[in-house]
Amino acid sequence: MTTLARNAGLPLDLALIESVRVNANAVTRRVQSLAARRSQKKEYQAAWLVRAIQCMDLTTLSGDDTEGRVMRLCAKARQPLRADLMQALGLQTLTTGAVCVYHEMVAPAVRALQGHAIPVAAVSTGFPAGLTSMETRLREIELSVQAGAREIDIVIGRRHVLTRNWVALYAEMQAFRAACGDAHVKAILATGELQTLDNVARASWVCMLAGADFIKTSTGKEGVNATPEVSLVMVRAIRDYLTLSGFKVGYKPAGGISSAKTALQYLSLMKEELGDEWLTPELFRFGASSLLTDIERQLEHFVTGRYSAAHRHAMP
């Protein structure tokens, strides 16, 4: 787990929240400038892709999840690359940043990862809609922590953002943070449902002020999930919050990130906006299920000069 200081939060400042504005045209220009930059090549690209694996929350969030699938996912998290690729790349050890599952699968995942430092993350609080009662959402967090989850991915009440009820959102986030205890909390904003970049920025600020350790774009279930534009807004909120509070908050893009090329773009964004310190699993995670397969294929091409079929890199 991280050795960074937890985000203790700050009192809610409504004047600060209402003053937050996003220049959408400037965001678009910045994103376009980042996309136009020369991409990493050869051994540099391979090193960045290995880092992407280290920052991955290997995830299964399907209605047909079984203990067997979760056990296979955990085995993949423990050894995400084949032994021959590890040897060719000069790697002794490599794991993903976490395994992310529903509450019912926390205990099997904890058992499968026993003896390893990989944390189990549980999606919680009525994921993905977040519309169950507050009592139910808090109890779900508590039960997941009791089952061994060391990270909790909560979903905020989007209605609070859409109605600009920042007091309610702040109180909700504080309650979730308290229920997590020592477990780190990632606040899922469901940015595809927040309508404007101003709302994304303000929701990011409120969640950080209330003590979120990470802010995360999406559940992966919305029509629109992680985008470079939303990510830029969120990471700049993280940067400004650090200046104000002294606390480092992590970032997790999730939903629709399935290619190595896209992963490299997000890593580049983090490096450009927040620096090398955020290129670690303590402060950056991908929410991913199929991403690992494409990264493995790219790394095999680097090692052998040939692309392999996806089925040679088995996933649960």
Which residues are marked as active site?
A: 153, 216, 252
Q: Residue 5: what residue type?
A: A
SS3 (DSSP) at 187: strand
Counted residue by residue, the chain has a size of: 316
Question: String of b and e for 283-306 (b: at least 16 CB within 10 Å)?
Answer: bbbbbbbebbbbbbbbbbebeeee
Nearest Cα neighbor of 238 from 283, 280, 197 is 283
Instruction: Give the span between the Cα atoms of 19 and 15, in whole angstroms.
Output: 6
Tokens of 152: 């909790």
Separation CA 157–CA 174 (nearest Å): 13
Crossing angle of helices 24-35/228-245, nearest 10°?
Answer: 110
* Distance, CA of 225 to CA of 100 (rounded, Å): 17
